[in-house]
Structure formats: structure tokens, C-alpha cells
A and B are shown apart, each in its own frame.
Chain A
Amino acid sequence: MLPVDGIPTKEDILAKAPPAERMKKGAVAMIECWQEIPCNPCVVSCPTGAITMEKLTAIPQIDFDKCIGCALCVAACPGLAIALVDGSKEDGDRVSIPYEFPLPEVGETVDCLNHEGRVVCEGTIEKVVHLPAVNKKDKTPIVTIKVPKGYALQVRFFKRR
């Protein structure tokens, strides 16, 4: 459980997940922000106004229909708590995460880890892009991993072989 050991339960994760219908239409942001902390870069980074917040210490709310899956919030979030999930492709789901480690090669096969750090499936690195955070001098690498269908909500990290 999050308050005990930093691992979200299945219910925690589902509560943050975009509806299946939306995921089928293409990449969409999933904001795994659990605590009311004084922070708003995701709101400011969003070009469509999909992410809103009542006050600085509120948990961000996202309108999944307004989200265009641009990943700017993924790069902006200081907590590295946002991932893009995409269930629109037949050959597998896509997950895009911020990645502050030596970068993998496109096409590389990796072991995909879930919120507990357990290997749940194999994945392929599909794309690596560098997007600006709020501080434009800082570009954060965003890695897109192709995972088997149905794994978009669980895969949040990967291990190189």
C-alpha cells in the first residue's frame, strides 16, 4: 500500500486510469499523483487545458477527452509520476515514461517492471524523445516501450538485459 511501502494497489491504479474507450483512441496521460503536495508544473505544461487543479496543493484532475497525448506533462512532472498509455495499436500497448538513466537503443528488448519492481513481461524500446520540462534548459528523455496487449496499466519501468 502506498502509505506503507510506496506501492499502489490495483484499486489505486485503476482510479487513475483513463477509460478503456479513451485508451483505444491513442496515447493519453495517466497521472499517478497520490498526495496533495504543493506542485503544479503538469497544469502549466498542458497545451490543451486538460489538466486542472483547484489550488497549489490539490491533486491534479485530468479531462481524458481533452488530452492529446503530447507527453509534455510527462517531462514536466517533478515527481516522475505521469506516464502515457496507448491501447490503440493491434500489435501491443505502448507505455511512455520519463527515464533519467543511460538511454536504451530503439529496438532493444527489455524486461518490463510493474509498480512493485517485479518483471511482468518483455518489451521493445520503440522511441526515445527529449522533451522540455518547465525549465526549458532541462530536457527529459521520454522512452516509449511496446508491451503486450493489456499491460499498459502495469508497466512503469524497465530493466536492460
Chain B
Amino acid sequence: MKTDVLVIGGGPAGMNAAIEAARAGASVTLVERQAHLGGQLVKQTHKFFGWAEKGAGTRGIQLAEEWSKAVEEHENITVMLSSEAIGLYDDGAWMIEKEGKLIPIYPKKVVIAVGAQEKTLPIENADIPGVYGAGAIQTMMHVYGVLPGEKYLIVGAGNIGVILAYQLAQAGAEVKAVVDVLPKLGGAYWVHVTKIRRMGIPLYMKHTVIEIKGTKWVEGATIAEIDEKFQPIPGTEKELDVDTIAISIGLSPLTDLMYQAGVELIWIPELGGLVPVHSENMRTNKPEIYVAGDASGIEEATTAALEGKIAGAVAAKDLGFDVNDEAIEEWKKELSQLRDAPLLERLRQGLHKLHEAAKERGLQ
């Protein structure tokens, strides 16, 4: 199968990359591992921040619907669902596995927008039923209509942790505690935290989970206060009667495909760990490969969508299609405005390192 642009990943970055490349006239194949488009937007029932003129106030789930409709209706885009990109072969084939069959795709350009994975907690019993990534619980609730437990402990008070607490309360579950090792709020927007505090959901900062009880499934947990060296302080233990533990201690980009394809990766903790070196135009050291969204560095859906637009348009432009350069510059401007918030200082430090690395390598 041949295509001008192969987009891997059907989340906010991938959908927008596909739309913009197709708009420029390129033939696009979009592969998505799940049976539906939308990526992590399907978990985001809250209204998004941003410009009201550009859709702020819209919930993530509504954006997923709008963008998937635009993708599915575009005549230049072929969508392959339940399809996973598993590797790049020597003859230039990107191998897609769909329902047990292998389908080689020969694209001229590839946008990798595969997103991120949740970090796990290295603690005994973290592998028994009842311990989940926060995102897994959101998928169960929002995609499959299943509430995996009744009484929850959430580990990690970033945006995902506190939003999950709110969603669980909406679903009628009881959130016994949200804990975080930091002495004060880190990446969470305060308004997302105030929402759960006024409902009476307990938040324990400078605390961590020290024991997960149970053998066949979760039967409780113990949390404790920690000192400056992140060690539990004896005597501060609290027993929690919970049947489910949600881990939301951060995300790291999914870089396996990039690594295999020879995209240069560098370690930038502020962006989630190993990230692909890329320019503002989302180009990498491999001239046929572009990146976008969380796979290129952890941020959020609004910035992922803008990066996707840039990657899709630039990929089409590099193939000789007619692309509106002003639009690309406008998206870059929007990105820098969104990243301008004081709260995002750490992110900006990470992006600075990334841009310096890209500059050193002469990436345009």
C-alpha cells in the first residue's frame, strides 16, 4: 500500500496532522491502534482552557467527535482502525498489524503521533488487580461504561489525578484520598484542585503509598508522610479502606518506533524523559519522519493538536504540495502563547533544551 503521508496515532495530534496534510492535497493514511479515533480526548470530559474564539470551553470528548468526523469525511484520508504500527522494515515498509494480518505501507513521509505511556509505581503488589493507571480507569469509565471499584486512592495530584478524582465522584465512587510526594501542588491547575477540595475529597501532600494490601486483589492501602529524602516518617501511617488504586505519577513519550527508525532521542526530564530531537516545524533528523503531540514531549491536548497541524502541513509542504506558510506561523504563535503561562516554567525549560539541541544539529 502506498501513501504520501502515513500518520501513526489517531489522537489530537494525529487527527490534526492528517487533516492538514490532506487539506494540502496529500494522500494520507491514518492508523490507530484502538477501534475508534480520539486518543486520550475520550477521557477528557472537562472543558478545555484556551481561546474562546478557537473552541475553548469545549470538552475533550466533543473535540474528539468533531475532529474524527473531519478525518472520516475527508476524501484524501484513509483511516485504519484497530491497526498497530509495529516497526519499520529495511525496504522502507512500515508494518501495520490489523486483526492478525500484516499490512506493509510505503509512505513518502511519516508523522509519528503515538502519544505517551503512564509511569508505573515501583512498589510491592502494584501488579495485583485493583491497581490501575489513572488513564486505564478513565478508559474503563468513559469508553466502556465500567467503574472498576468503589473506594479509591489516587497516587499523584497532577492534572490527571485531580481530574480523575472529580470524574470518579461524578460516577458515584468514593475517593478516600489523593496523595502526592511533593510538598506543594506541582503541575495541576489550581482550579482543577479547588473543584475536588470543595467537594471534601482529602488531599495529602508530602505523602505516598507505602503498602498495598491484599493478595488476589486490592484490600486496602497504607499511606504515610515523607521527609525531604522522600522516606516515610514512622508514626505518620494512615490505613485507607480502598479497593482500587489509581496511579497518576506522570507520562513518558512512546519512543519505540522512533528509536527503531533512527530518530535521535535525548533525555529531557521536563518533557517526560526520552524525547525525539525535533525543530519547531516538527522535523526530526530523519528527513522522512515528523513527530507531534505527547510522543514529542509531554504537554496537553490543545498543544498536541497545534503540533499535529504543523507536522501535517510541513510534511505536505516538503512533498511539494502548496501549503499556506502564514497558517503554520500562526499555529507556532498560538503554541508560544499557550506555553506562556507562569505555571509552565518547567515545560519552557524543557522546550528550551530541546530547541537548543535542534539548533545545534541544524534542524529546520
Query: Measuring CB to CB, which residues of chain A are less than 8 angstroms from any residue of chain B?
Result: 2-8, 32-41, 43-45, 55-57, 76, 78-81, 100-101, 113-118, 133-135, 137-138, 156-157, 159
Contacts and interface: CB of A to CB of B under 8 A. Distances in A.
Interface in B178-207: 183-185, 188-201, 203, 205
B342 A113 contact: no
Given A78-B48, A117-B200, A117-B201, A6 B194 contact: yes
Contacts of A6: 162, 185, 188, 190, 193-194, 196-197, 203
A35 B343 contact: yes
Interface in B43-99: 46-53, 55-59, 62
A113 B198 CA distance: 6
Nearest to B169: A101
B233 interface: no
Which secondary structure dominates chain A's binding surface?
loop
Interface string B151-166: 0000000000010000
Contact of B198 (A38, A100, A137, A156): A156
Contacts of A5: 184-185, 193, 197, 203, 205
Contacts of A44: 52-53
B197 A78 contact: no
Contacts of A2: 185, 190, 194
B337 A35 contact: no
Contacts, number: 138
B52 A38 contact: no
A34 B190 contact: yes
Closest 5 pairs between A and B when the two form their complex, measured CB to CB: A117-B200, A79-B191, A6-B193, A134-B57, A44-B52
A78 B342 contact: no
Given A79-B189, A138-B57, A115 B194 contact: yes
B170 interface: yes
A4 B343 CA distance: 14
Interface of B: 46-53, 55-59, 62, 162, 169-170, 183-185, 188-201, 203, 205, 337-338, 340-343
Contacts of B62: 135, 137-138
Contacts of B53: 44
A156 B198 CA distance: 7
7 contacts: A6-B190, A35-B189, A37-B343, A38-B341, A39-B56, A57-B342, A81-B194
A35 B53 CA distance: 21
A40 B56 contact: yes
A10 B341 CA distance: 25
Contacts of B191: 32-35, 37, 79-81
A28 to B, nearest CB: 20
A30 to B, nearest CB: 13
Contacts of B170: 100-101
Contacts of A101: 169-170
A9 B340 CA distance: 27
